Amino acid sequence: MAIVMAALSVYFMWKSAELPIGWLPDEGPGGGAFSFWLSAVMFICTIWIIINWARRTSPPSQSEEPYMDDYAKKMLLLVGGSVTVMIALVHVIGMHLATAVFMIYYVRFLGRHSWPLTAALATGTPVFIFFFFDITLNKILPTGYLEPMYLVLYDIFL
């Protein structure tokens, strides 16, 4: 798995480098900056995992157990499926509301946390994302069919 993740990291860095990956004066980070540098860190981590596996220094590298048991497969489907639905929702309701829907599902229904915590995270996370990316970094995230609402917010904050 680490080898597959390392290969994906290299591919993501290569694709991200098609856009500027550094800091652009008066604009902020280039369009490929976050994905490039996140992939670079992921690549370094996967190389470290491969080294530990080859040297047999970590407990997982010494184990003869199956890579994924039934519970892990179930969780992969539940979490992976919900992320897929979230990505599909981005084009309809925008990144911020799709994040809120995902947080409700993940925190309340998968994590079984309380409604107050769920409400705080489902509200706070999209607000943080909006102010960090859209306002601070001036990188407008997809808004879907809710764009008229965002135009008002952009007039206020930009």
C-alpha distances in Å from residue 128, one per residue of 3, 4, 121: 34, 32, 10
Helices 2-16 + 33-55 axis angle, to 10: 160
The neighbour count for residue 9, using CB atoms within 10 Å, is 20
pLDDT for the residue numbered 158: 83
Predicted confidence at residue 86, as pLDDT, reads 97
User: What is the model's pLDDT at position 43?
Assistant: 98
Helix H or strand E segment including 28: strand 28-29
Provide the β-strand partners of residue 156: none
* Closest CA relative to residue 9, chosen from 81, 1, 52: 1
Retrieve residue 83's tokens.
Answer: 């992320």
Specify the pLDDT at position 70: 94
CA-only gyration radius of the chain, Å:
19
Low-confidence ranges of the chain (pLDDT < 50): none
**% pLDDT > 90, the chain:** 80
Kind and range of the H or E run holding 60:
helix 59-62
